[in-house]
Amino acid sequence: MELNKVMLYILVTVLVLIIGCILGIFKRSKYHMMNNYENFTTTTPATTSYLTGVVNSVYQNMNTNIRYPAMDNQLRINNLTKRLNKINSEIAKANLQSGLPPPPEALTFY
């Protein structure tokens, strides 16, 4: 009887550790996905987007983030700048089509 209780405690402890490790891996992957802005995809379902982000973030962590964190930050800045310029050009096109004047030059990001 005592041996069965000990085995049960050991089994429960091992299961809790395994579940904790799995949840920790997913939490870490989600954290890294949130820091990889370029991995967001709005056209796919949430689960596919999440799994894509997890795979991409793990791949990027192996290749870039660990060895070249400053380079990774520069890539993020470049990607965000491209997005802002694209948004500004779309706003300018919409304004021209509606007859409004183009935005001032100060809104262009370099």
- Is residue 10 pLDDT above 70, yes or no? yes
How many domains does the chain contain in total?
Answer: 2
Residues 53 and 85 in one domain: no
- Do 36 and 53 share a domain, yes or no? yes
Residues 38 and 4 in one domain: yes
Higher pLDDT, 96 or 8: 8
- CB of 2 closer than 8 Å to CB of 19: no
pTM over 0.75: no
**Same domain, yes or no: 22 and 56:** yes
Torsion of CA 42, 44, 45, 46, to 10 degrees: -50
48/97 same-domain check: no
Statement: residue 104 has pLDDT above 70: no
Burial class for 57, CB neighbours closer than 10 Å (0-12, 13-18, 19+) = buried
